Structure 1
Amino acid sequence: MDKMRFQQQLQAFEQWKSNIIHTIEEYGPWLEANNMSTPEVQARIQNTLETLKNDRLTIAFVAEFSRGKTELINAIFFADYGRRLLPSEAGRTTMCPTEIFYDSERNEPYVRLLPIETRLQDTTLSQLRKDTKQWVHYPLEVGSAEQMEAALKEVMQTKQVTTEEAMHLGLYSADLHPHQKRAPKTIEIPKWRHALISFPHELLNKGLTILDTPGLNALGTEPELTLNMLPSAQGVLFVLGADTGVTRSDMEIWQHHIKGFQSGRQHGLMVVLNKIDTLWDDLRDQHEVEEAIHLQRAEAAKLLGLKERAVFPVSAQKGLLAKIKNDTELLERSSLLDLESYLADDVLGIKQQIILDTIGSDVGQMLDNSRSVLSSKLNNAKRQLEELEELSGKSDDIINNLMEKTRQEQSQYMADVESFQQSRLQLKEQIEKLRAALDLDTLNEIIARSRKEMSSSWTTHGMKSVMKQLFEEIRRNMHSVVVQSDQTRKLIRGIYRKFQNEHGFAVVQPRMFSIVKFRVELELLHQEVEVFRNSPITTMMEQSFVVKRFFSALVYRAGEIFSRASKEIDVWLGSALEPLVLQIRDHKEMMEKRLTNLQKIGRSRTTLEFRIAELQEQYTDVAKQLTALRNMSNRINSRQPLRPGERPYPKLVRKRKAS
């Protein structure tokens, strides 16, 4: 198998995404040219484009210490560098969560490190990312192997602090070390809390981000890792050691920090049984070695509750060595290629589906609606053509009767438009109820009250009870949002259905807001709160530090979920009726045009032939535009990544004005 499989697939994926972006970029001007656009529609298109352009593919590596995780990253992604890009030595390990990517905005390589002391601040990691003054910045000189090696080794640095300092930072509790007769005077702790490495590598330039998370300590004390970073990754590789098997700390990471948020995920979760070379034994034949590896794999799968095909026995060290030395036999024996192949197919497949879902729920739906409207225009033009062709040689009485019938239809239609305005008022009242359920000021008052109660609590039990009560109240608020959003959706659908049933409007799907993803996020957050609340580490920590961590990570995340839901609802409500408003306008203009034509035909029969020719040209033009939209829809919904170098699709047919 080609050892560049993942790189080639990623390149094809990026080209596929580029062609989708190109198509969406054409759609905005097309809407403008066809008088089917609004500022809200253009804003939605631009938002989708920004999301696609800034979108990254994230693969997270999770493991307890000394499982060979950093070596695995080197072997899969950086072997073509000809050496270990990331430091990976016996007895040395990554001490803080590390993100490896390329900063295209700054367009420079660097290592940026966040001091461990920032744990004392009442600030989240996502907030700190934006505050560059808090980070220590080291430029990376890619031409100097020695300078890069020295800069990258900073990630491993530790420092000695007093036991009291470690306790304040939430990194030590005597109760967690019962075997110690007395607490040591100093404790070794990580020097850095988080690391950002910007490196100009081909894969990173294409939008790949690698998240390297150290063991149980970091996952347990930095909730944002398990609340935000790991769940948002398209691939999560949990690395075990074949020399250790599944240890107690491995199981704790799996059960508390991976399995919970991954419970609904069918793809993108892989377990790597690393260091299988420790089972290679020259005194046993190959069959015996393979049997020993198979038993290790089966045992790991059983303990973790997975199917065996999701567990990959590999030797990262031998795989890296084989790639550097171009040793095909050793590479095959390392089994690294099986893992790479799975990454290429499974993880990129997940990413592609996420993009298709994102586009489908927004621009894809807009495209479908545009096609429905054009189909309706095509049918209307065809009906008018047939109507006018039947008038040839007919008497004035028939034309007058047709005009009278059209006036009656127009009168009824205008009455329904008045009814539409009343429905808008009813919708406005329902919207107020929905916004009240999502009121962020009310939520902040609840949070502030709970924080005061926690800080003044005399016992750990009392403090934990406040945590539980707070999240129960937040969940009740979310339930109210669910109820009110469902009522709003029903009302909007009813407004559309009236015009579709009574006036033959094209079946256009209004943009709908789904609270489900926010509710799921909140439930996952609640699970994490329960882990934090019941953790022995929480019990041992200083009360002031527990309050800080709880509110800066967990409660902040709840507020952020409500804030994003509120913003998304505002966007939804601002555009939910737009497709119908456009249809009402077009239908009104069509009826007025039809009545005017009949009046002109009644006065002069020469107008009849002119209008028939005009409608025929209009019919042909709308048919061309409909074909163009079908092509756009096919391109956006395409699941097959392009091959590198494949030619782009032709431009859209532009609308010609009817004479």
Structure 2
Amino acid sequence: MEKVRFQEQLKAYEQWKTDVINTIEEYGPWLEENGMSSADIEQRIEETLTTLRGDKLTIAFVAEFSRGKTELINAIFFADYGRRLLPSDAGRTTMCPTEIFYDDVRHEAYVRLLPIETRLQDSTLSQLRHDTKQWVHYPLEIDSVEQMQAALNEVIQTKTVTLEEAKHLGLYSQELHPHQDEPPETVEIPKWRHAMISFPHDMLKKGLTILDTPGLNALGTEPELTLNMLPAAQAVLFVLGADTGVTRSDMEIWQHHVKGFQSGRQRGLMVVLNKIDTLWDDLREHEDIHDAIQSQQSDTAAMLGVESKAVFPISAQKGLLAKIKNEPELLDKSGLLDLENYLGQDVLNIKQQIVLDTISSDVGQMLDNSRSMLSGKLNETKYQLEELEELSDKSDDVINNLMEKTRSEQAQYLRDVDTFQQSRKQLKQQAGLLSEILSLNQLDETITKCRKEMTNSWTTSGMKTSMKNLFEETRRTMLQVVTQSEQTRKLIRAIYRKFQNEHGFAVVQPKMFSIVKYRVELELLHQEAEIFRNSPVTAMMEQNFVVKRFFSALVKRARDIFQRADSEINQWIVSALEPLVMQIKDHKEMMEKRLNNLQKIGQSRNTLQYRILELQEQYTELARQLTSLRNMSNRISNNRPLHHSQRQKPKLVKQNVS
């Protein structure tokens, strides 16, 4: 199998995404021209486009200290610069979580650092991200190697504080240092809590974000990393040392902070067995070395419970050296290209599927509905055309009977439209019940009560009970939402079915609200709350710090889930019946036009041929528009983000009006 550099695959993926964006941009004006647009539809299309344009591919690197993680980032992404861009020399290690990306709003290169003291605040990392006054900002001078290296070296800086300060910041506990007979007077801690590096690298400009995390300490004391950032990453690379194997601290990171956040996840989860060059030995046979590496690969996969093919024995240092010195043989021996190829195949396929799901659930469904409605108009036009052609040699009595029948159908249709208005009122009541269950005021009361109980608790056990009770209450509320939303979905389906069955409306799929994603998100959050609640690190923290961490990282996230669910429900109710409202309006106009045609033909047979020609032109135009829509659908669904030499063109259809 040809090994394709990750950069090439990312470039092809970005081209595919650009094609998708261009097609959706074409769809908006099409809806406007064909009278199928509305304020809600325009908003939904714009939201999808905003999501796609701001789409990021996030790859997280997780490891205990001294596993060569930063060297691996340099080797995969920054070898083209001919040097180590990020500090990864022996004995120097990333001390704070670091995001590497390109700021496409400011278009600046910089290092932005958040002081460690912000841990004492209630604000989350997400909130602090927008508070630029709290960050220390260093511009990066791209043309100056010395200035860039000095600025980037800040991410590895530490500071010495008193023991009390370290405890207050939640960065020291006697139990984590069992080898110490007595607590020290001072403690070395990271200088920074979080770092953001904006750099104008080609791949970063294409939407790649790299998350570099330090060891167990940071993951244990910054729950937001585990809760928000790692689950949001499309790929997590867990780096081990071939010279150390899977240590106890490696296993704890894996169980609690990597595998634990998404039970059963396999895709996008990779294990890197770094530093295999320590096993290279000129005095050993090549086959023996190969067998030893394969054995360690299999043992590592078995210990971590992943497939052997997701464990990559590599040498990041030799891979970086090979790229810089352009030594293909050493690069192949380093194993780096195997990892890059897998990243491109596995991770970009996941990312593409996420994009397709985003489109499919909204714009894709709208495209399908537009095609259904247009097909319905095409069939109705064909029916009218055939009806008029048959009237050419019919008597006035036949035309009058047909007029009476059409009036009767019209009267029944108008009565059903009145019933529809009653159904809309019923739907509004259902929406009110859902909003009442999801009331943030009620949730805030529960949260305030829990915080007071935790603050006043005299025991760790009491605090843990309060944490558990709060999340049990949110889960019960979510179950109520599940029941009520299903009743609302049934009502909407029944309203649509009535017009489809009784008036032959084209089958369209109304936008449906799914509580599943919010329920899953809450369940994952509940799992993380349990890990936090039972973690030894939590038990060792000061009570005040535990309360702050629990509410800023966990409870705030639960509240956010309910807020987003409530917002989506309100949008759903507004837009759920919109396709049917359009069909009702179109059908009413068609019935009126049909009746008008019959009346005019009854008065003068000269009108008949003119109306037949008019309908033929209308039919041809509708068929052309339907072809245009089909091609839009094919351009979205058929393109694949393969590497350039393999890219397939979508199959476009030609107009057929036979």
Instruction: Using structure 2 for the length normalisation, give the TM-score.
Output: 0.97
1:657 corresponds in structure 2 to: none
Higher mean Cα deviation, 630-639 or 462-471?
630-639
Q: Provide the alpha-carbon RMSD of the alignment.
A: 1.7
**Contact residue 505 and residue 583 of structure 1 kept, 8 A:** yes
- For residue 326 of structure 2, what is the amino acid of its counterpart? N
SS at match of 1:567: helix
- For residue 125 of structure 1, what is the amino acid of its counterpart? L
Per the TM alignment, residue 616 of structure 1 is displaced from its structure 2 partner at its CA by 0.3
Where in structure 2 are the equivalents of 1:614-625 lying within 5 Å?
A: 614-625=614-625
**Contact residue 3 and residue 341 of structure 2 kept, 8 A:** no
- For residue 211 of structure 1, what is the amino acid of its counterpart? L
SS at match of 2:170: coil
2:596 corresponds in structure 1 to: 596
1:37 corresponds in structure 2 to: 37
- For residue 30 of structure 2, what is the amino acid of its counterpart? W
**Contact residue 78 and residue 85 of structure 1 kept, 8 A:** yes
- For residue 162 of structure 2, what is the amino acid of its counterpart? T
Counterpart Cα distance in 1 of 2:97 and 2:331 = 29
2:278 corresponds in structure 1 to: 278
- For residue 140 of structure 1, what is the amino acid of its counterpart? L
Counterpart Cα distance in 2 of 1:229 and 1:607 = 69
**Contact residue 9 and residue 642 of structure 2 kept, 8 A:** no
Task: Assess, with a 3 A threshold, how the Cα gap between structure 1 residues 350 and 642 changes in structure 2: closer, same or farther.
Answer: closer
Where in structure 2 are the equivalents of 1:238-257 lying within 5 Å?
A: 238-257=238-257
2:127 corresponds in structure 1 to: 127
Per the TM alignment, residue 639 of structure 1 is displaced from its structure 2 partner at its CA by 3.9
2:156 corresponds in structure 1 to: 156
Counterpart Cα distance in 1 of 2:162 and 2:497 = 70
Question: What are the Cα deviations for residues 437-459 of structure 1, in whole angstroms up to 9, with x where unaligned?
Answer: 11111111110111011101111
SS at match of 1:138: strand
SS at match of 1:10: helix
1:585 corresponds in structure 2 to: 585
2:106 corresponds in structure 1 to: 106
Per the TM alignment, residue 540 of structure 1 is displaced from its structure 2 partner at its CA by 1.4
Per the TM alignment, residue 3 of structure 1 is displaced from its structure 2 partner at its CA by 7.2
**Contact residue 15 and residue 644 of structure 1 kept, 8 A:** no
Per the TM alignment, residue 266 of structure 1 is displaced from its structure 2 partner at its CA by 3.5
**Contact residue 8 and residue 643 of structure 2 kept, 8 A:** no
Counterpart Cα distance in 2 of 1:460 and 1:226 = 23
Counterpart Cα distance in 2 of 1:397 and 1:465 = 83
2:490 corresponds in structure 1 to: 490
1:505 corresponds in structure 2 to: 505
Counterpart Cα distance in 2 of 1:652 and 1:43 = 29
Counterpart Cα distance in 2 of 1:54 and 1:313 = 34
2:48 corresponds to 1:48 = yes
2:169 corresponds in structure 1 to: 169
Matched residue pairs, number?
A: 654
Task: Assess, with a 3 A threshold, how the Cα gap between structure 1 residues 144 and 363 changes in structure 2: closer, same or farther.
Answer: same
**Contact residue 109 and residue 140 of structure 1 kept, 8 A:** yes
SS at match of 1:83: coil
- For residue 61 of structure 1, what is the amino acid of its counterpart? F
Where in structure 2 are the equivalents of 1:259-658 lying within 5 Å?
A: 259-641=259-641
Per the TM alignment, residue 267 of structure 1 is displaced from its structure 2 partner at its CA by 1.1
Per the TM alignment, residue 263 of structure 1 is displaced from its structure 2 partner at its CA by 2.1
Per the TM alignment, residue 647 of structure 1 is displaced from its structure 2 partner at its CA by 12
Question: What are the Cα deviations for residues 309-355 of structure 1, in whole angstroms up to 9, with x where unaligned?
Answer: 11000000000000001111111110111101001111011100100
**Contact residue 630 and residue 653 of structure 2 kept, 8 A:** no
Per the TM alignment, residue 175 of structure 1 is displaced from its structure 2 partner at its CA by 3.0
Per the TM alignment, residue 181 of structure 1 is displaced from its structure 2 partner at its CA by 2.3
SS at match of 1:59: strand
**Contact residue 371 and residue 630 of structure 1 kept, 8 A:** yes
- For residue 32 of structure 1, what is the amino acid of its counterpart? E
**Contact residue 371 and residue 629 of structure 1 kept, 8 A:** yes
- For residue 209 of structure 2, what is the amino acid of its counterpart? T
Higher mean Cα deviation, 178-187 or 641-650?
641-650
Per the TM alignment, residue 435 of structure 1 is displaced from its structure 2 partner at its CA by 0.7
**Contact residue 80 and residue 323 of structure 1 kept, 8 A:** yes
- For residue 275 of structure 1, what is the amino acid of its counterpart? K
SS at match of 1:189: strand
- For residue 31 of structure 1, what is the amino acid of its counterpart? L
Per the TM alignment, residue 174 of structure 1 is displaced from its structure 2 partner at its CA by 1.8
Question: What are the Cα deviations for residues 38-79 of structure 1, in whole angstroms up to 9, with x where unaligned?
Answer: 100000000000000000111110000000000000111111
Counterpart Cα distance in 1 of 2:43 and 2:496 = 23
Counterpart Cα distance in 2 of 1:160 and 1:59 = 32
Counterpart Cα distance in 2 of 1:39 and 1:179 = 66
Counterpart Cα distance in 2 of 1:12 and 1:36 = 33
Counterpart Cα distance in 1 of 2:71 and 2:289 = 23
SS at match of 1:172: coil
- For residue 261 of structure 2, what is the amino acid of its counterpart? F
Counterpart Cα distance in 2 of 1:533 and 1:521 = 18
Counterpart Cα distance in 2 of 1:582 and 1:227 = 42
Counterpart Cα distance in 2 of 1:51 and 1:264 = 27
Counterpart Cα distance in 1 of 2:623 and 2:175 = 76
**Contact residue 15 and residue 642 of structure 1 kept, 8 A:** no
Where in structure 2 are the equivalents of 1:154-233 lying within 5 Å?
A: 154-233=154-233
**Contact residue 639 and residue 650 of structure 2 kept, 8 A:** no
Higher mean Cα deviation, 400-409 or 225-234?
225-234
**Contact residue 63 and residue 239 of structure 2 kept, 8 A:** yes
Question: What are the Cα deviations for residues 76-109 of structure 1, in whole angstroms up to 9, with x where unaligned?
Answer: 1111111111110111100000000000100010
Percentage of matched positions with identical amino acids: 74
1:6 corresponds in structure 2 to: 6
**Contact residue 625 and residue 653 of structure 1 kept, 8 A:** no
**Contact residue 56 and residue 207 of structure 2 kept, 8 A:** yes
**Contact residue 110 and residue 138 of structure 2 kept, 8 A:** yes
Counterpart Cα distance in 1 of 2:648 and 2:514 = 37
Counterpart Cα distance in 1 of 2:319 and 2:280 = 14
**Contact residue 142 and residue 148 of structure 1 kept, 8 A:** yes
2:145 corresponds to 1:137 = no
**Contact residue 634 and residue 650 of structure 2 kept, 8 A:** no
Counterpart Cα distance in 2 of 1:344 and 1:465 = 45
SS at match of 1:236: strand
SS at match of 1:403: helix
Counterpart Cα distance in 2 of 1:575 and 1:545 = 44
**Contact residue 631 and residue 652 of structure 2 kept, 8 A:** no
Counterpart Cα distance in 2 of 1:236 and 1:181 = 38
Per the TM alignment, residue 4 of structure 1 is displaced from its structure 2 partner at its CA by 6.1
Question: What are the Cα deviations for residues 180-203 of structure 1, in whole angstroms up to 9, with x where unaligned?
Answer: 222100000000000000000010
SS at match of 1:637: helix
Counterpart Cα distance in 1 of 2:266 and 2:404 = 62
Instruction: Using structure 1 for the length normalisation, give the TM-score.
Output: 0.97
2:89 corresponds in structure 1 to: 89
SS at match of 2:238: strand
**Contact residue 26 and residue 652 of structure 1 kept, 8 A:** no
Question: What are the Cα deviations for residues 345-367 of structure 1, in whole angstroms up to 9, with x where unaligned?
Answer: 11011100100011001000000
Per the TM alignment, residue 265 of structure 1 is displaced from its structure 2 partner at its CA by 2.6
- For residue 610 of structure 1, what is the amino acid of its counterpart? Y
Counterpart Cα distance in 2 of 1:96 and 1:72 = 17
Per the TM alignment, residue 17 of structure 1 is displaced from its structure 2 partner at its CA by 0.4
Task: Assess, with a 3 A threshold, how the Cα gap between structure 1 residues 647 and 183 changes in structure 2: closer, same or farther.
Answer: closer
Task: Assess, with a 3 A threshold, how the Cα gap between structure 1 residues 178 and 648 changes in structure 2: closer, same or farther.
Answer: closer
Counterpart Cα distance in 2 of 1:215 and 1:468 = 28
- Structure 1: tracts of 5 or more residues without a match: 655-659
SS at match of 1:259: helix
Counterpart Cα distance in 2 of 1:161 and 1:495 = 67
Counterpart Cα distance in 1 of 2:640 and 2:550 = 44
Counterpart Cα distance in 1 of 2:223 and 2:173 = 18
